[in-house]
Structure 1
Amino acid sequence: MYFKLLFAIALLCISSVQVQASPQAQTAIKLSFNEDWQFQKSPAHATAFQPEAKAWEKVSLPHTPKLEPLLVNDQWQGIALYQKQFNAPKSWQGQRLYLRFEGAMNHTKVWLNGKAVGEHLGGYLPFSIDISAAVNYGADNQLRVALDNNDNPITGPKPLHLLDFNTYGGLYRDVNLFIKAPLHISDEMLTNLPNRGGLVISSKIDNKAKASVAVQADIRNQGSKTAQFTLKQMLEFDGKAIATTAQSYTLAANSQQVFSQNLTVKQPKLWHPTHPNLYQLQTELWQGNTLLERSSNKVGIREFAFNAKHELLINGEPYFLRGINRHQDYPHVGYATSKQADYRDAIKIKEAGFDYVRLSHYPHSPAFMDAADEVGLVLIDAVLGWQYFSPEPEFAEHVYQSCRDLLRRDRNHASVLAWECSLNETPMPEAFIDNLKAIIQAELPGAMSAGWQTQYDIYLQARQHRMQHYQTPTQPYNVSEYGDWEYYAQNAGLNQQAWADLKDDERTSRQLLGAGEKRLLQQAMNLQEAHNDNLHTPAFADGYWVMFDYNRGYANDLESSGIMSIYRQPKFSYYLFQSQRDPALTSTQYNVGPMVYIASDWQADSSPNVRVFSNADAVELWLNGKLIARQMPDNGANTDKLPHPPFTFHLPSFEAGELSAKAFIGNQLVATHRVRTPQAIHALEISLDTAGVPINSAGSDVLFVNVRLVDANGTTVPVNDKVVSFEVNGAIQVLNPDAIVTEKGVASALVRVHNGAKGVHLKASFAAENTAAPLTAELKF
């Protein structure tokens, strides 16, 4: 085995992390282990570790083994090796030390000071290792991690050359070290028992005037004596204490027990997609006058249920979920993003008018889960699985454990509606499904299951594969995927390698941002038609495939059915969905309210039938200062169920100049949008896409820098494949490994910055045909 070869590699300079002891040595400490790693990788597809170079590369986490090109059809697979040193003060001796990995792809082995301390299979869920006995206290310690992301028949899914998405690699999520007293709140992954470990938090709504929050704390005593302790709970809202409780208990030596407490909440502020109210729960473990541990968790008080008509009730009221599927794929870095980047994705999804996300087809990051709670996105949470089943018992056991671990990680999130412990688009034995459903109930009694077979509590039906698109439902019914495959392949089955009878390119929903106005309008029409049709069914939710363009391991092109590009730039379809949201909604977290958008580039080949998306009652369209018409929304077969159908204006012909749309609710002007006929490229405009989320001030962050080619009027000139160059100074790195080119007039660079990126300077330049010197634009932050 290649793992036996790892320690034959010569040790080179290893950076050391010096950690200061806490002023209260017994108080729990959480240390980020994201910095000061050293890294090497094997040649691609190697199954034994043979380093590419003798020198180690200094890296920080999240990390990917390879910066991939925009089109990833030969993703790096092989053996990745990470190592670091840390100093363990003598004051830690007698404490319990847990090392927790949030995401490591895919087969992981861990050594500390030359001793094997842990092994884990599966790349999407966390695992914890008790390293207390292997630490050298009062000295430096060497940590080494080996990762194998080659195809694995136990974890699945398909081999990468057949897979419809990429799995990437590396230590791509956080690693933390926890130092705790012998008496402590246990780790849910180490406990590995149903409905146990850590904190289990639930809520119950009695009526509008009263609710309760139940806290189940799993306490472990690894000391040699019986421990007396006090467990305190405090629930806060907007910084004010709402409810508190404190109770004293005893726990025998070398034992573990669950202690339950309840808090009463008067006049509760409920969690809902339109108003995601969250309480702050502070859990404290005291021994005498010493605070051993404090845990802080956000709590949403809410209730999901279904009525006899299979409508979803949120806190007793029917609510239809307009939704989307998401792959967490990022250009160049794959999964190795940042908490802030994942939060920005959630903001973009919410601003697009969605209230629901299906996490396809694997567990997404804890940061995205947190963001969903905070901005109001209802989630279907999924284990890894796609078109692959193995009859080997080890495969089933791994799926079962993944289901357990998924619920243990995410059970306290208000946003989770149901658990997709299911292998998507994969025939599964009935006994296998029954076992998964039983695991869900054991881990979280009363929780709902979801899957693409009708044995589950919620039926996830993929209409785009034309499989039982509509029949009288006998259970809650969710149109889990629509709008892509059904407008692409007429055979529309599950075997995407067949690709028989493909639709003409201009008719599909797979359109890149730079595909041109006609094709982007066709994508929007496809989505409008399908979404409107979904609303004729008794489905309680639908989810378009997909939010962002993404890479597929087996394909020679990007999967381009996203309503935003892989660089998170909106297509016309983005505004179609945005127009379906209620204009009366308000939020301090994201942009919302009345909107209007002209879906046209308004140039010589533009259609004179101008489509406008708006959630207003009426829209006026003006051309060069002259009123064309004031219209109500379209009324037709493909619009009858939409909350806000588009507005189509029929102009006699194209006339260069400015189109202006004015949106009205009642007689009040609520929103405007303008487009101008683009002229010659005159300047560059550069911007940093933070989506309102501040740059990470304590670690790395990845963001998009967008450069627009604009004319003298500031109109983006929608040209493709124009090369834009970038120069940087300071703590910033451009991650694009290829030439950076425009798509519809925008060139996007993915950059990594550290610790708030103070003093960073970025300069973009473009050699325009009509200027003697290159056009430039600069960004400082």
Structure 2
Amino acid sequence: MKHHFFIISCLMLLCICSAGYAYSPREVINLNREWKYMRGDCRGAEQTGYDDSGWERIGLPHSFSIPYFMSRDFYTGYGWYRKHVAFTEKNLSGKIFMEFDGVFQEAEIFVNGKFVDRHRGGYTGFSVDITEAAQVGDNLIAVRVNNLWQPTLAPRGGEHVFSGGIYRNVRLVLKSSTYIDWYGTFVTTSGLDTSNGGYGIVNVSTEVRHSGNDTDNFRLVSNVLSPDGRIIASAEKEIEMKCNTAQTVRQTMEKIENPCLWHPSHPVLYKLESLLFKGDKLIDRDETSFGFRWFEWTKDHGFFLNGEHLYFKGVNVHQDQAGWGDAVTDAAARRDVALVKEAGFDMIRGSHYPHSPAFAKACDEEGVLFWSEAPFWATAGEKKDGYWTASAYPVRQEDCDAFEENVLQQLEEMIRIHRNHPSIIAWSMCNEPFFTTPETMDGVRKLLKRMVDYTHLLDPTRPAGIGGAQRPLGEERIDLIGDIVGYNGDGATILDFQQPPIPSMVTEYGSTNADRPGEYIPGWGDLEKNDAWKGVEWRSGQAIWCGFDHGSLFGEGMAKLGIIDYFRIPKRSWYWYRNVYAGVNPPVWSVSGTPAKLRLEASRYTDIKADGTDDVHLTVTVLDEEGRELSNSPDVKLTLISGPGEFPTGGSILFEAGSDIRIMDGKAAIAFRSYYAGESVIEATSPGLEPARIKLTFTGAPAYKEGVTPKVADRPYVPFSLQKKGKIQSFGLNNPAFASSAADGHSTGYAADGKFDTWWEPESSDQNVYWTLDTERSLMLSEVSIRFASTDRYQYKVEVSEDNKNWMLVSDKTGNKNPVGSDKIKPEKTVKMHYLRLSFPQTGKYVTPKLAEVEILGQLD
């Protein structure tokens, strides 16, 4: 069975004019600059007369947690944002919208003291019509944001952090009273199969809204522009619209012979120009980027792009970065995609939520396939409402309907915003939603089915995937609900999921914990067995967990699994992949020596936009007298000497070995941004070493004036702490499990599925019997509980490890002569662990183990 999905691609490129039209009646204004912010819930802050003189001056994107450096805890509560804008009578003659690319996670918008709208969902953008609340002259925009855990908001759980804030771009969009709607253009292409002669047909659906007082006639012209800007196809349609109505206009253009196809090795993009006329007057214009290409997922032979087989090599990517947390610029998102591409990877899984429009745009332009995921997921840990380890699906009946509607709302927003990107090859419904209370699994399955059906309705050109579907086992499997499936961790090796009846991929493999520099090795982890990392004929591809270190609720044990560190400096494993995948030899590794000086470099030096969409990545390196890079890591300070700009900590930042703001292996890095134009001088210093300076030029904003422009306030880094005592929690249920072998019908996961009537059992020919559990956490072990499917004279030993390499013996029962049905083991002293292993030596008294369930009790380290 084959699934053919002829794809789309397009992204709104704001206020850019084509060769055919020198202007656009639509005005798009970046609103990232000059906001006031206060953490906490400030009563009356939406009112025009409220005194915000004591609030912090900030720019967007912004997070409650800035400066943030990968700590486990984060502030949860409210934050307020205020900004003044001016409107003319002409502005008020049309429609005025505010467009948000992302606010975590509930936003209430006020204009001039009036409540305008609310949005619930932290990873998808939204548009707010503020026309009725706006006035001529000064206008106050106030946004009340909270990141409180809510039982009816997705996600209800996860392992990353959930910092609040307006952490993506905000725009003001001025339109006429009749206009093309927000992300209202949907471009699809067909006819690309080379067996048909290699032509392309562009199909366009455009949503037009008319808010005028009368029925009127309009004309929609759609032009396809080639990569060099020529009009190569057009369509035109007359439309009649009644007052306060919306209409979807469908157009199909003539064949385009031999279009250049989008592919990771040649990511060619076209544009669609949408022109809305009333008579001969142009009243709205929009531009959409898209690409010609087609693909198919197959269950037997993997993935095909433009008719050619492609076993894609991917990474999982979280969005947050050092200092700024989730509040990264478009340029920072682009750098992440570029680092992935540089190492030879050609696919990204957007774990585990919709990423920014800028991120998807970067995938289009850099040439990286993209798996876009809805925020329905959870994680291991205590399943209680009130915190982010809660059950994936609500445990209270009264929360279910509202939760499902919120999931479907965010799914629809994700598809609407991203549906035109050629890089996107799948919509994923979830990640590991089986981390839910057992009684809610029926709800999980029904919701996934609703999501799949809704995805087919919203976008019939792409498959609906079930991500992280390696549990549950048995009759309750969820992996076959969608069109395609992704398995995480041990799902790559569990027999139940080998060559499934639908197309599949490994959505997560690896999980190698390392500080930079780390080892020059790959992180195959789960794919190492039988060299599965080289690819399997029926499998479409694989994605390593993970691309970048990220903030995690569970601390460093989960946070440092990337091949690139949190400061966006590659670890040695990244260089291994770059060597094997891209054919680039690794550099000479730095060694210890006598530090003499510093080198300071920037990702760019000139024409850096000062509007919150752009920034630069600064890297400082310790050198010896001859300029060789050293691994010595003395304290290094970066200071803004003159001009505009800011570090996440304000006007300077100090890197220290062993701190959260770290220098390691002789290198430190951070992103630097500005909201004013001008030349910035930054100096790197370290006691006893020759300093280094660079100059950066920012543009596109009011000029910085020394002594006049407000100085950026210092933001000292103080890790947020909930100051709660460690709680004993249960781990093991549905965590990844691995074994030396597994007999038919007795997969490794059956020993960690919460059921006593299923069990793991090795193959009879296995000569080195063991079973391993990955808790995916760094724990202080309190107790190991073991239950067998039957009582027998089992002989075994229990060991724990932090790295899956070096093991510590906790209990030795290899000399046991008594019948055992269950066992509880408590270590004599505090033991730190991440992995647990049970080994069953084959002595003369060997009894084949039938391991029904393993539970670990412990505190998060």
TM-score after normalising by structure 1 = 0.75
**Structure 2 match to 1:402:** 410
Q: Structure 1: how far apart are the matches of 2:684 and 2:80?
A: 35
CA RMSD of superposed structures (Å): 2.9
Q: Classify 1:208/1:68 alpha carbon distance in 2 versus 1 (closer, same or farther; 3 Å).
A: farther
The alpha-carbon deviation at position 708 of structure 1 amounts to 0.6
Is residue 595 from structure 1 mapped to residue 584 from structure 2 by the alignment? Answer: yes
Indicate conservation of the 8 Å contact 1:225/1:253, yes or no: yes
Q: Structure 1: how far apart are the matches of 2:43 and 2:156?
A: 18
Q: Structure 2: how far apart are the matches of 1:552 and 1:245?
A: 50
Offset from partner CA, 1:301-352 (integer Å, 9 cap, x none): 1112134624211111111110000000111211111111111111111111
**Structure 2 match to 1:478:** 505
Mean Cα deviation higher: 389-398 or 467-476: 467-476
Of 33, 38, 41, 2:39 maps to: 41
Indicate conservation of the 8 Å contact 1:103/1:125, yes or no: yes
Q: Structure 1: how far apart are the matches of 2:104 and 2:221?
A: 38
Of 593, 597, 604, 1:683 maps to: 597
The alpha-carbon deviation at position 747 of structure 1 amounts to 2.0
Mean Cα deviation higher: 33-42 or 523-532: 523-532
Q: Structure 1: how far apart are the matches of 2:373 and 2:115?
A: 31
Q: Which runs of structure 2 are paired with 1:560-575 in the superposition (5 Å)? A: 560-575=560-575
Q: Classify 1:49/1:115 alpha carbon distance in 2 versus 1 (closer, same or farther; 3 Å).
A: closer
**Structure 2 match to 1:759:** 679
Q: Structure 2: how far apart are the matches of 1:145 and 1:472?
A: 50
Is residue 295 from structure 1 mapped to residue 279 from structure 2 by the alignment? Answer: no
The alpha-carbon deviation at position 95 of structure 1 amounts to 1.2
Q: Classify 1:734/1:308 alpha carbon distance in 2 versus 1 (closer, same or farther; 3 Å).
A: closer
Paired AA for residue 54 in structure 2: A
Q: Which runs of structure 2 are paired with 1:283-322 in the superposition (5 Å)? A: 283-307=274-298, 309-322=300-313
Report sequence identity in percent.
25
Indicate conservation of the 8 Å contact 2:220/2:275, yes or no: yes
Q: Structure 2: how far apart are the matches of 1:98 and 1:445?
A: 29
**Structure 2 match to 1:250:** 240
Q: Structure 1: how far apart are the matches of 2:40 and 2:302?
A: 52
Mean Cα deviation higher: 76-85 or 554-563: 554-563
Q: Classify 1:545/1:753 alpha carbon distance in 2 versus 1 (closer, same or farther; 3 Å).
A: same
Of 136, 139, 142, 2:140 maps to: 142
Q: Classify 1:558/1:440 alpha carbon distance in 2 versus 1 (closer, same or farther; 3 Å).
A: closer
Q: Which runs of structure 2 are paired with 1:602-641 in the superposition (5 Å)? A: none
Paired AA for residue 219 in structure 1: V
Q: Structure 2: how far apart are the matches of 1:34 and 1:598?
A: 39
Paired AA for residue 753 in structure 1: S
Paired AA for residue 119 in structure 1: R
Q: Structure 1: how far apart are the matches of 2:526 and 2:339?
A: 18
Paired AA for residue 117 in structure 1: V
Offset from partner CA, 1:438-464 (integer Å, 9 cap, x none): 110111124201112221211110134
Q: Classify 1:543/1:25 alpha carbon distance in 2 versus 1 (closer, same or farther; 3 Å).
A: closer
Q: Which runs of structure 2 are paired with 1:469-618 in the superposition (5 Å)? A: 471-484=498-511, 509-514=512-517, 519-521=518-520, 529=528, 532-537=531-536, 538-555=538-555, 559-581=559-581, 594-597=583-586, 600-601=589-590
Offset from partner CA, 1:563-583 (integer Å, 9 cap, x none): 11111111121122212336x
Q: Tell me, which stretches of 5 or more residues in structure 2 are unaligned?
A: 1-21, 379-391, 470-478, 657-662, 697-861
**Structure 2 match to 1:628:** none
**Structure 2 match to 1:174:** 169
Q: Counterpart of 2:300 in 1: which secondary structure? A: coil
Q: Counterpart of 1:734 in 2: which secondary structure? A: coil
The alpha-carbon deviation at position 510 of structure 1 amounts to 0.5
Offset from partner CA, 1:679-712 (integer Å, 9 cap, x none): 311221110134x996325445333211111113
Is residue 183 from structure 1 mapped to residue 210 from structure 2 by the alignment? Answer: no
Paired AA for residue 446 in structure 2: A
Indicate conservation of the 8 Å contact 1:34/1:176, yes or no: yes
Indicate conservation of the 8 Å contact 1:684/1:777, yes or no: yes
**Structure 2 match to 1:214:** 203
Q: Counterpart of 1:748 in 2: which secondary structure? A: strand
Q: Classify 1:112/1:739 alpha carbon distance in 2 versus 1 (closer, same or farther; 3 Å).
A: same
Q: Which runs of structure 2 are paired with 1:97-246 in the superposition (5 Å)? A: 97-136=96-135, 138-158=136-156, 163-187=158-182, 198-206=184-192, 207-237=196-226, 238-246=228-236
Q: Classify 1:233/1:319 alpha carbon distance in 2 versus 1 (closer, same or farther; 3 Å).
A: same
Indicate conservation of the 8 Å contact 1:727/1:764, yes or no: no
Of 380, 389, 394, 1:390 maps to: 394
Q: Counterpart of 2:240 in 1: which secondary structure? A: strand
Is residue 747 from structure 1 mapped to residue 668 from structure 2 by the alignment? Answer: yes
Paired AA for residue 183 in structure 1: T
Indicate conservation of the 8 Å contact 2:185/2:204, yes or no: yes
Q: Classify 1:282/1:275 alpha carbon distance in 2 versus 1 (closer, same or farther; 3 Å).
A: same
Indicate conservation of the 8 Å contact 2:567/2:668, yes or no: no
Kindly tell me the number of residue pairs found equivalent between the two proteins.
Answer: 623
Indicate conservation of the 8 Å contact 1:701/1:754, yes or no: no
Indicate conservation of the 8 Å contact 2:510/2:524, yes or no: no
Q: Classify 1:73/1:744 alpha carbon distance in 2 versus 1 (closer, same or farther; 3 Å).
A: same
Q: Structure 2: how far apart are the matches of 1:158 and 1:718?
A: 42
**Structure 2 match to 1:456:** 482
**Structure 2 match to 1:260:** 250
Q: Structure 1: how far apart are the matches of 2:592 and 2:613?
A: 38
The alpha-carbon deviation at position 268 of structure 1 amounts to 0.7
The alpha-carbon deviation at position 121 of structure 1 amounts to 0.9
Relative contact order higher in (CA < 8 Å, ≥ 6 apart): 2
Q: Counterpart of 2:359 in 1: which secondary structure? A: helix
Q: Counterpart of 1:739 in 2: which secondary structure? A: strand
**Structure 1 match to 2:451:** 436
Paired AA for residue 414 in structure 1: P
Q: Structure 2: how far apart are the matches of 1:52 and 1:714?
A: 54
Q: Counterpart of 1:243 in 2: which secondary structure? A: strand
Q: Structure 2: how far apart are the matches of 1:145 and 1:570?
A: 37
**Structure 2 match to 1:669:** none
Paired AA for residue 316 in structure 1: G
Is residue 414 from structure 1 mapped to residue 422 from structure 2 by the alignment? Answer: yes
Mean Cα deviation higher: 227-236 or 532-541: 532-541
Q: Structure 1: how far apart are the matches of 2:148 and 2:519?
A: 37
Paired AA for residue 731 in structure 1: P
Q: Classify 1:211/1:217 alpha carbon distance in 2 versus 1 (closer, same or farther; 3 Å).
A: same
Q: Which runs of structure 2 are paired with 1:24-39 in the superposition (5 Å)? A: 27-39=25-37
Q: Counterpart of 2:99 in 1: which secondary structure? A: strand
Paired AA for residue 113 in structure 2: G
Of 351, 365, 373, 1:360 maps to: 351
The alpha-carbon deviation at position 245 of structure 1 amounts to 2.5
Q: Classify 1:175/1:725 alpha carbon distance in 2 versus 1 (closer, same or farther; 3 Å).
A: closer
Q: Structure 2: how far apart are the matches of 1:553 and 1:49?
A: 31
Q: Tell me, which stretches of 5 or more residues in structure 1 are unaligned?
A: 1-23, 189-197, 485-508, 583-593, 602-676, 769-773
Indicate conservation of the 8 Å contact 1:183/1:227, yes or no: no
Q: Structure 2: how far apart are the matches of 1:531 and 1:341?
A: 38
Q: Structure 2: how far apart are the matches of 1:143 and 1:530?
A: 57
Q: Structure 2: how far apart are the matches of 1:680 and 1:307?
A: 57
Q: Structure 2: how far apart are the matches of 1:274 and 1:47?
A: 54
Indicate conservation of the 8 Å contact 2:100/2:125, yes or no: yes
Q: Structure 2: how far apart are the matches of 1:727 and 1:697?
A: 16
Q: Classify 1:66/1:419 alpha carbon distance in 2 versus 1 (closer, same or farther; 3 Å).
A: same
**Structure 1 match to 2:694:** 779
Q: Classify 1:598/1:573 alpha carbon distance in 2 versus 1 (closer, same or farther; 3 Å).
A: same
Q: Classify 1:557/1:322 alpha carbon distance in 2 versus 1 (closer, same or farther; 3 Å).
A: closer
Indicate conservation of the 8 Å contact 1:725/1:766, yes or no: no
**Structure 2 match to 1:620:** none
The alpha-carbon deviation at position 468 of structure 1 amounts to 2.5
